[in-house]
Amino acid sequence: MNDARPLPHRWTAQLGLLLVIAAPAWRAARAQTPGGSPGALDRPVHLAGRLSLADALRQVGDQAGVSAVADGAPLRASADVELRASARQALDRLGEVFDYWWSPGPGGIVLMRKRFHDPNERPQMHVPELKQWAEELVRVLRSIPYEADDRSWELMLRQLASTFTPEQFAVLKRKERLHASALTADQRRLIQLALATRAFAHPAAAGERLLAQMKAIHASRMIAEEVPTPSGGSGVRRLLVKHVAGQDASAVVAVLGEIDARLPQGGPR
Amino acid sequence: MRLASLAIVSAGAMALPVQGGHMQRQAADVRLGERVDLRLGRTTVDRALAALSAQSGLSITAAPYLEDRVVVLEVSGLTVKATMDALAALNGWVWRQTGQRSFRLARPALRPPRTSSEVGAAMRRCLPLDLREFLGLEPPTAVSDGVPHAPLQRAPLAAMGARSALLAAAAARMSPGEDVPWSKLNPGERTLLLEALVFSLFRSEDVDLWSDRPGFHNLDIAWAFLELAMDEILTVSGESSSVRFPAFGANIYRGPGALNR
């Protein structure tokens, strides 16, 4: 190979090539640094006062260059925080205070998610999202064959029993196991359908119900029905409260519970 | 920074093919690499993406069902792409490229199960990540003070708590013949109603299915066997070399379609 260029030029070219190759990797590594900039999580921060999670994260960002995104809003709106520590320790402390865990995410940004250690913390509830995942759940459950009636598996087992040969019955009556391998193909299919119905019919019905409730939620209502009480009278009446989503026969009704309501002056209507 | 990399912002992300427009693609590439400051505090996904769009010059939106999700966003000096990646990673969402300069945040595409044994996992994937974590269906965060939450254990309590709180809040307005429509509920009452309805979905009887433990949904017929309990209850169960499945049964001599002894 005849390379007429002087050696230093060749080295320069190779060095340039190396830089071209290495630069993206270096940039990526830098971008992946937890906190968003090199060593950000080890930088000192000072938090003091009554702070919301957002306030606290802003201060950590200002002082250490740490960027963060947290899912939802904590149940605890604010807390008294007094801390001089590294950004990493500050995030640990904020996680304890606001019931979040954290981890470095793409680009080094800190991701924070609820831990649900606090028994009163709840996941987010938004109607459009609920409707979306309920639809997907129903689609998943519709993709498998089973009977919609969630008690029909009992009928299937009785139907299966009606197909047993005397020999198969004899095995069962001897208290022995009758393995699927000793059954006919039709009998095995019946067991599979019974298994699927036992497993999926109720969750599917519940999913369909939730989807119907979410689709009709904006036109839904809570209703109260008076129920008789053993004592009767005494200025209080018992009400059964229900949620009704939809109209007439197709409405999905959910019982919410009973409450005692004071009778209006002038007695029962 | 290459635009193509946005197609892999999250597992399962799928970018639509961009037709031609090399220059425009380069422009989008450049914008994705620009640094942004989003000191929004508590906000919604919709507002966060509107701010990101304004700073980047790109059209960055969320699927309508994600717009109301609440986030706390404190970003300074990160690239547009890193910020988008973080928002997706936070909840297991994906980005889809919908045009030369437009991107949409969405849930991953539904993967229907091919067999009964895949249904449990597919059902879990339908739920938002925070709900799965709350229900104890996500291993990494299903630990509280070293003790894992039993899957679904919290659901009945949460449903009951929501119903009680809702009834307490609305009691004064409830009267026979006087409906209380959704529009008359305040935001707190609406949330309680949604919680009451949603958490009712999760029965303890379905815990094997939701958590993918051995159950009726993943009992391979090759492992199944029948037994006759108490001389009249035909039960179905199963056993592999390592797993014993639960059993269920029906009385074959009583009830509709029963046999004559």
Q: Which domains does chain B have, with CATH numbers?
A: 3-106 (3.55.50.30), 134-210 (no CATH), 219-251 (no CATH)
CATH number at residue A54: 3.55.50.10
Q: Is residue A231 part of a domain?
A: yes
Chain-centre distance for alpha carbon A245: 23
Among residues A114, A146, A174, which one ends one of the domains?
A: A114
Give the pLDDT of residue A33. Answer: 52
- What was the pLDDT predicted at A106? 83
State the residue range of the domain holding A231.
218-262
| Residues in B touching A196 (Cβ below 8 Å) | 116, 216-217
CB contact under 8 A, B119 and A140: yes
Return the sign of the alpha-carbon dihedral for residues B79, B83, B89, B90: positive
Query: Which chain B residues are Cβ-neighbours of A71 within 8 angstroms?
Result: 69-71, 90-91, 129-130
Q: How far is A17 from chain B (nearest CA, A)?
A: 18
- What residues of chain A lie within 8 A of the CB of B180, using their CB? 221-223
Q: Is residue A34 part of a domain?
A: no
Interchain CB contact of A140 with B (< 8 Å):
yes
Tell me if A121 is assigned to some domain.
no
Same domain, A187 and A132: yes
Residues A24 and A63 in one domain: no
Residues of B in contact with A244 (CB under 8 A): 179
Query: Running along chain B, 261 residues long, what does each successive block of 10 average in pLDDT?
Result: 38 40 70 95 98 97 98 96 96 96 97 94 97 87 56 94 96 90 97 98 94 93 96 96 94 92 75
Instruction: Residue B88: list chain A partners with CB under 8 A.
Output: 106
In this complex, is the C-beta atom of A68 within 8 Å of any C-beta atom belonging to chain B?
A: yes
Best of B119, B226, B231, B259 to mutate (most A CBs within 10 Å, chain A): B226
> Shortest CB distance from A261 goes to which of B88, B141, B174?
B174
Does A96 contact chain B (CB < 8 Å)? no
**Same domain membership, residue A131 and residue A211:** yes
What pLDDT is stored for residue A14 in this prediction? 53
pTM of the model as a whole: 0.86
Same domain for A178 and A202, yes or no, is yes
Q: Which of B72, B167, B236 to mutate to test the interface with A (most CBs of A within 10 A)?
A: B72
pLDDT at B148: 60
Q: Does A242 touch chain B (CB under 8 A)?
A: no
Provide the pLDDT for residue A5. Answer: 45
- A165 and A177 together in one domain: yes
Tokens matching residue A11: 């080295």
Query: What is the reported pLDDT for B260?
Result: 86
Coil, strand, or helix at residue B248?
strand
Whether residues A17 and A44 share a domain: the answer is no
Residue with tokens 């249904």: B119
For residues A88 and A25, state if they share a domain: no
Neighbours of B2 (CB within 10 A): 13
The C-alpha of A131 sits at a distance from chain B's nearest C-alpha, in angstroms, of 8
Task: Give me the interface pTM, i.e. the ipTM.
Answer: 0.89
DSSP state of A43: S
Nearest CA in chain B to A155: B257
Measured between CA atoms, the residue of chain B closest to residue A216 is B182
Q: How many domains in chain A?
A: 4
Report, as ranges of residue numbers, the positions in chain A whose pLDDT lies below 70. Answer: 1-38, 231-234, 263-269
Residues of A in contact with B204 (CB under 8 A): none
Q: Do B42 and A254 touch (CB under 8 A)?
A: no
B178: which chain A residues are within 8 Å (Cβ-Cβ)? 224
Q: Which 3-state string (H, E, C) describes A173-223?
A: HCCCCEEHHHCCHHHHHHHHHHHHHHHHHHHHHHHHHHHHHHHCHHHCEEE
Choose the closest CB to A177 out of B119, B176, B227: B227
Decide: helix, strand or coil at residue B54.
Answer: helix
Last-in-domain residue among A83, A114, A145: A114
Sign of CA dihedral B196, B187, A211, B64: negative
Of A114, A121, A161, the CB nearest to B252: A161
What is the pLDDT, as a whole number, of residue B147? 57
CB atoms within 10 A of CB A234: 9
d(CA A172, CA B83): 64
**Same domain as A210, residue A138:** yes
